[in-house]
Structure 1
Amino acid sequence: MQTTVLSNVTAPQPQAKTPALFWAVLVVFVVFALIPTLWTDVDLAAAGLFAGQSKQLDAGPWPWVVWINAQIPTVFRFVVLAAFAGWLFTSFSRYGKQWRLQLAFLALAGTLGPGLVVNHVFKDNWQRARPYQVAQFGGPQQFTRAAVMTDQCDNNCSFVSGHVACGFFFASLMLVHRRRRVAWAVTGVTSGLVIGFARMADVAHWLSDVLWACPITLLCSWVVWKLLLLLYKPPKF
């Protein structure tokens, strides 16, 4: 009885056109991310609020900040794994087939953007030192701007933030749930910024790391969405 009810639940109908709100969020964050990238004093000043002898805010020990820094990757992995399980179930079962595209998107885009691209394309290749590692805040490494590949970090480097990408990812769900696009945009942007505050409070990321995480994650999600549309061939509107 329960599976019958679930199979009759109407899934959001996929549409081939990208929502204007999606591009608006992406462009706005690119513009804001360029500010600390081009004017590096902004990056240093923002980090200086939480680091160094003249720091203005000691937010690192706050309980919710500690929880975010420790648990967000685990929570996000659980969500992605649950989506994978749901996708497999609906692919090999006669129940819930109307949810296959949405579950596939959550599983694949969540793996590609916050997982593979952020960690193995950007972090491993940009090799940007984290704030606590640079000379301005008592470390041995050199500060470098966000757009420059460097050699100031060996592994698990600063650019861009994986934690923050997990938060911004939820804004991309507007691609598969069009009627709730504003709600998903607000959820994703708010989550990303709150997590970004926590990462900066932990002196683990620069402002530019936080801001660039949004367009990078959204673009990865958009590519996955377009490929899935070819696979599942939604109706044209």
Structure 2
Amino acid sequence: MAALAVLTAGLAIAFRLWPWPDLLISALFHDPAKGFAFAGRVVWDGVLLANKAASVTLVAVGLVMVPVGLWRRRAEGSSAARYWGMVLLLYLIGPGLLVNGLLKHVFGRARPEQIVDFGGQAPFTAAWEISGYCRSACSFVSAEMAAGTALTTALAIGALWFDGRPAAGRFRGLALLSLGLLLLTAVQRIGSGRHFLSDLVFAALLMTMLAFGLACLLWPRTARSCTVQPRLNAP
């Protein structure tokens, strides 16, 4: 957790003082005559849809499993209820309140496709720079990247949470698949002109910190050390 916090702070300073990587990376996908390479492409839009569908599915499973775990009233059921409760809180606090409810409104960053450098009318602003050039559905940070990171980290934590049980293997496999989908989603968001590199980086870092922070609170064996370790099967 501390390492992630230091990394996030360091990158925040770097992107604020030297924002040129955002423009450079986005420019790789932009043609002045044709626009952004992946904008409106069916295959890449399908990647985005798959990312959203996977998160909706995980949340739906959580809504079912929390009451089921509470109904069982056993050690295993209690542990499962806490895990799925963590998943629901992660999506509610992260993509819901923090990203869409706070950051997008506070920073008001125009999307790449909206700035002058890529044929739009708004000026470019650096990450963590407050501006009023966007009033709704703004660029900083990426909600899709936040949801995808929540998916991947939740599944990775699940593999540790249920280590030693049959479900752990399924969580590991799904975590690897979701990581691949997350990387494709990142490419799609930049390539379609909807987000800058920093929008994705900070969405991923903030969600990862939030996920492991919630695990620290809800996973008994990690409550003191706030460190997620394998083979912790306490109810």
TM-score (normalised: structure 2):
0.75
Deviation at 1:162, TM superposition (A): 0.9
Moved more, 90-99 or 183-192: 183-192
Partners of 1:146 and 1:133 lie apart in 2 by 15
Deviation at 1:161, TM superposition (A): 0.6
Deviation at 1:64, TM superposition (A): 3.0
Number of corresponding residues: 215
Partner of 1:162: 143
Deviation at 1:225, TM superposition (A): 2.0
Contact residue 26 and residue 218 of structure 1 kept, 8 A: no
Deviation at 1:115, TM superposition (A): 2.2
Kindly indicate whether residue 64 of structure 2 is the aligned counterpart of residue 85 of structure 1: yes
Deviation at 1:158, TM superposition (A): 0.3
Partner of 1:130: 111
Partners of 2:18 and 2:194 lie apart in 1 by 20
Kindly indicate whether residue 159 of structure 2 is the aligned counterpart of residue 177 of structure 1: yes
Moved more, 56-65 or 216-225: 56-65
Query: Residues 21-67 of structure 1, C-alpha deviation per residue, up to 9 Å, x if partnerless?
Result: xx767766766676544322211011112224178972334433111
Partners of 1:47 and 1:54 lie apart in 2 by 15
Q: Which letter does structure 2 place at the counterpart of 1:192?
A: L
SS of residue in 1 equivalent to 2:100: helix
SS of residue in 2 equivalent to 1:92: helix
Q: How does 1:78-227 map to 2 (within 5 A)?
A: 78-94=57-73, 97=77, 98-169=79-150, 170-178=152-160, 179=163, 189-227=179-217
Query: Residues 154-185 of structure 1, C-alpha deviation per residue, up to 9 Å, x if partnerless?
Result: 11100111111122221354444325798787
Contact residue 128 and residue 158 of structure 1 kept, 8 A: yes
Task: Let me know the Cα RMSD of the aligned residues.
Answer: 3.5
Higher relative contact order (CA 8 A, sep 6+): 1
Partners of 1:70 and 1:102 lie apart in 2 by 26
Partners of 2:92 and 2:59 lie apart in 1 by 7
Partners of 1:187 and 1:216 lie apart in 2 by 21
Q: Structure 1 residues 214 and 184, CA, compared in 2 at 3 Å: closer, same or farther?
A: farther
Partners of 1:197 and 1:143 lie apart in 2 by 20
Contact residue 32 and residue 119 of structure 2 kept, 8 A: no
TM-score (normalised: structure 1):
0.74
Q: Which runs of 5+ in 1 are unaligned?
A: 1-17
Q: Which letter does structure 2 place at the counterpart of 1:141?
A: A
